[in-house]
Amino acid sequence: MPSEKVVVSAEEINRIVPETDAPPSVFQRAPSPIPLWAKITLSLLVPALPLLCIVAVVLKLAFRTQSPSARHAMASLLSTLLIISGFLATALTVLVVSLVPIPAIVNTGLPDLDERTDFPVLTAGSALSSSDVSTRLKPLVIVVSPTVRLWNHQEIASQFFGAGMLLEADQDGYLFATANHVAAHAPVREGGSPPHVMVTTAAGVWSTADIIGTAAPLDIALLWVPRHSGHATFVQPISMPADGEQVFVIGHPEGLKYTLSTGLVSGLRDQSIQISAAISPGNSGGPVYDAQGDLIGIVSSKFDRNHDANAENLGFATRAEILRDPALWTFYGTGRKRLETYLDDLHKGKITSPKTDQQSRLSN
pTM for the full predicted model: 0.69
Domain-located, residue 20 = no
Q: For 28-51, write each residue's pLDDT tens digit.
A: 666 777 888 888 888 888 888 889
pLDDT at 156: 78
Q: pLDDT exceeding 70 applies to what percent of the chain?
A: 79
Indicate whether 306 and 356 sit together in one domain: yes
Indicate whether 47 and 135 sit together in one domain: no
Indicate whether 149 and 172 sit together in one domain: yes
Indicate whether 336 and 282 sit together in one domain: yes
Residue 358 has pLDDT above 60, yes or no: no
Domain-located, residue 148 = yes
Domain-located, residue 317 = yes
- For residue 289, list its beta bridge partners: 248, 295
Domain-located, residue 19 = no
Indicate whether 47 and 155 sit together in one domain: no
- CATH number, domain with residue 275: 2.40.10.120
pLDDT at 99: 67
Q: For 170-225, write each residue's pLDDT tens digit.
A: 999 999 999 999 987 655 545 456 788 999 999 888 999 999 999 989 999 999 99
Residue ranges in 295-364 assigned as alpha helix (H): 335-348, 354-363
Domain-located, residue 323 = yes
Domain-located, residue 183 = yes
Q: For 326-357, write each residue's pLDDT tens digit.
A: 999 999 989 999 999 999 999 887 544 445 44
Residue 7 has pLDDT above 80, yes or no: no
Domain-located, residue 256 = yes
Indicate whether 190 and 42 sit together in one domain: no
Q: How confident is the model at residue 62 (pLDDT cuts 50, 70, 90)?
A: confident
Q: How confident is the model at residue 1 (pLDDT cuts 50, 70, 90)?
A: low
Domain boundary among 99, 125, 152: 99
Which of 10-19, 172-181, 202-211, 260-269 is predicted with the least confidence, judged by mean pLDDT? 10-19
pLDDT at 241: 95
Q: Which residues contact 81 (CB under 8 A, 6 or more apart)?
A: 42, 43, 45, 46, 52, 56
Indicate whether 65 and 146 sit together in one domain: no
Indicate whether 116 and 182 sit together in one domain: yes
Residue 97 has pLDDT above 90, yes or no: no
pLDDT at 147: 85
Indicate whether 178 and 69 sit together in one domain: no
**Residue with more model confidence, 247 or 77:** 247
Where are any strands of DSSP class E within 58-200?
141-145, 147-149, 155-157, 162-169, 173-178, 196-200
Q: For 272-308, write each residue's pLDDT tens digit.
A: 999 999 998 899 999 999 999 999 999 998 765 555 5
Domain-located, residue 176 = yes
Pick from 137, 133, 143, 142: nearest CA to 119: 137
Indicate whether 58 and 141 sit together in one domain: no
How far is residue 272's CA from residue 274's CA, in Å, rounded to a whole number?
7
Residue type, 213: G
pLDDT at 115: 92
Which of 15-19, 49-53, 261-265 is predicted with the least confidence, judged by mean pLDDT? 15-19
pLDDT (mean) for 143-170: 86
Domain that holds residue 179: 111-363
Q: pLDDT exceeding 90 applies to what percent of the chain?
A: 47
What crossing angle do the helices spanning 49-62 and 68-99 adopt, rounded to 10°? 170
pLDDT at 33: 79
Indicate whether 255 and 125 sit together in one domain: yes
Mean confidence (pLDDT) of the chain: 84
Number of structural domains in the chain: 2
Indicate whether 122 and 233 sit together in one domain: yes
Domain boundary among 41, 66, 99: 99
Domain boundary among 77, 99, 121: 99
